[in-house]
Amino acid sequence: MSSTYRISAVRVETTADDPHEHVTRVRIGFDSGTGVDRATVVSNLRRPNGDRYDIFANGALMDVVVAPCPTCRFSDYITTAPATTTSNDLLELRRY
């Protein structure tokens, strides 16, 4: 049975080519630990019965999805829906 988790903070890294940020880890709720790595989030989102993630940012609740990065060729980029925009509201969350 899957659950939905609210992401409250992110850890990012800057890419080497065409520098821009990619989320590498996320914190769930009030957790103060190291968080969940990107690969786990991607794996859950790709499984039909896997866990789901959302965020509350800029006054709106948004689903987290996996999509190709709009800047580079990375295909396991985690972003917010709709994936048709280049805006990634995950990047607006608190950093840790």
Q: Looking at the predicted structure, is the pLDDT value of residue 60 above 90?
A: no
pLDDT at 20: 95
Name the pTM for this structure.
0.90
DSSP character string of 6-47: EEEEEEEEE-SSS--EEEEEEEETT--SS-EEHHHHHHHHHS
**Long-range interactions of 76-81: CB distance < 8 A, separation 24+:** 76/38, 76/39, 76/42, 77/22, 78/23, 78/26, 78/38, 78/41, 78/42, 78/45, 80/55
In tens, the pLDDT along 18-47 reads 899 999 999 999 988 899 999 999 999 999
Domain ranges (residues) in the chain: 4-95
Please check whether residue 44 is in contact with residue 94, taking contact to mean a CB–CB distance below 8 angstroms. Answer: no
Average confidence (pLDDT) over 66-77: 94
For the chain, the residue count is 96
Q: Looking at the predicted structure, is the pLDDT value of residue 82 above 90?
A: no
